A = this chain, B = another copy of it.
Amino acid sequence: MLLDLAVPWVDLAGIVVFAASGALVAARKGMDPVGFILIACVTAFGGGTVRDLLLGRTPVFWLRAPELIALAAVTAIVTFFIAERIASRERPLLWADAAGMALYAVLGAEIALLAGAQPWAAVLLGVVTATFGGILRDVICNEVPLILRREIYATAALAGAGLFVILRLEGVWREPAFAAGVAAAFGLRAWGLVSGWSLPAYRQPKGDGI
């Protein structure tokens, strides 16, 4: 019951946290308020836009939803005024990005399923939805993409989207499947952030010529 009420709000929550993560990168770059709004929108809507383009769902969703744009813009402006009081923008950025990634991985997979994609394709589109907003944010802002860091990132999105799709195929109700997927993605990413744990990464051989 509580979850049932909560779920319609999660895509708004995803927009807020990803817009905030975009605005925090804009703060690192010393951009003006319009720049904050632009980068916040690219981050919040980039992943879903790529997903919709790949599926052929056009015009893309946010062109018919001014309230979503307004939400991202307000988040960007609020961040503009409060970011100054935060001693470091590095940690809040990582956590806002982690929350957005987890929510979007599951939401993206669900939207792809509803659009008729096969289960494996829905999982991939969940990963695309979760990662491309952040990739676009970092590429446009000339930052090293978060996805290149050693901590678990795409792996967490894959786990969350995969768990959600498997549970749904097994007949689990939407809300518990949703909660489980988001928890798996966020938990894995959070674990990586806190512990520095990661999958075994490629080891550079000694005396590497590159």
**Contacts from A to B (Cβ < 8 Å):** 26-36, 38, 49, 53-56, 58-60, 63-64, 66, 69, 80, 83-85, 87-90, 117-118, 120-121, 124-125, 127, 131, 135, 139-142, 144-145, 147-148, 150, 152-155, 158, 198-205, 208-210
Q: B121 near A204 (CB under 8 angstroms)?
A: no
State in angstroms the CA–CA spacing of A148 and B141 once bound together.
Answer: 7
Inside 8 A of A85's CB, which chain B residues have their CB?
Answer: 205
Inside 8 A of A29's CB, which chain B residues have their CB?
Answer: 148
The chain B residue sitting closest to A144, CB to CB, is: B142
Contact check: which of B131, B199, B202 meets A83 at CB < 8 Å?
Answer: B202
Counting every copy of the chain, the complex holds 3
State in angstroms the CA–CA spacing of A101 and B60 once bound together.
Answer: 23
CB<8 Å pairs between A and B, sample of 7: A32-B198, A32-B199, A34-B155, A55-B59, A56-B58, A64-B118, A69-B120
Q: B53 near A58 (CB under 8 angstroms)?
A: yes
Inside 8 A of A87's CB, which chain B residues have their CB?
Answer: 205, 208-209
Inside 8 A of A54's CB, which chain B residues have their CB?
Answer: 49, 53, 58-60, 63
The chain B residue sitting closest to A158, CB to CB, is: B34
With A117-B59, A120-B66 in contact, is A142–B148 under 8 Å at CB?
Answer: yes
With A141-B148, A147-B35 in contact, is A121–B199 under 8 Å at CB?
Answer: no
Q: A89 near B210 (CB under 8 angstroms)?
A: yes
Q: A38 near B154 (CB under 8 angstroms)?
A: yes
Q: A84 near B205 (CB under 8 angstroms)?
A: yes
